[in-house]
Structure 1
Amino acid sequence: MNYRHAYHAGNFADVFKHIVLTRAVEYLKRKGKPFRVIDTHAGTGFYDLSSDEAQKTGEWRDGIGKLVEAMVPTEALSLIAPYLDIVARFNPGGGVRFYPGSPTIARELLRGQDRL
């Protein structure tokens, strides 16, 4: 099987996985002790959703594309805000052209004493 994540980056499953990753890292940070994130199946750390690969499938439109435009209830927004903040950092002009992968999301969340 030939799998290239650039065709699927930002799809609904990717968004779900990255929200769970964000929540898990935020939970681990509640303790003062350092920790290490090991992702054995991470793709690259960054995706351009205007690339030929991402445009060919357009899967990101039903994932992160919908989420950034959605009216998210306040209760849910508080749970996913750290994730959305990271996505927004890579898209300072608004919208979503650039999408961070798992390694980038983890790196953005880690403290100085934590490791990736």
Structure 2
Amino acid sequence: MLSYLHEFHAGNHADILKHLALVFIFEHLNEKGKPYTFFDTHAGAGLYRFDDERALKTGESMRGIQRLLDYASRFPDNVPSEM
């Protein structure tokens, strides 16, 4: 049986795609002006460290979110202050 632990994969390209899709979905829902409820049934811990030994073992976050953040840092106006 294949076991999946998000600690090894957090911040990878698929994770970025999932969160980007959620941003667009929520932006669209927010335009409606009606309340809604969202339940993330597979959220896991909700907060993952990219310098954790499990994340470093696969290096997926370095090829995913870290690479994107490095690129975004070239444009300081686009990078959130709390990252």
TM band (smaller chain): 0.7 to 0.9
Q: Larger Cα Rg: Structure 1 or Structure 2?
A: 2
Q: Which runs of 5+ in 2 are unaligned?
A: 73-77
Partner of 1:7: 8
More strand by share: 1
CA distance in 1, matches of 2:61, 2:17: 12
Q: Deviations over 1:41-75 (max 9, x none)?
A: 2222100111111011110011101111225xxxx
Q: Segments of 4+ in structure 1 off by > 6 A? A: none
State the number of aligned residues. Answer: 77
Partner of 2:19: 18
Q: Which runs of 5+ in 1 are unaligned?
A: 72-80, 92-116
Deviation at 1:38, TM superposition (A): 2.1
What TM-score, normalized by structure 1, do the two folds share? 0.59
Between the two proteins, what is the percent identity of the paired residues?
Answer: 42
What TM-score, normalized by structure 2, do the two folds share? 0.80
CA RMSD of aligned residues (A): 1.8
Partner of 1:55: 56
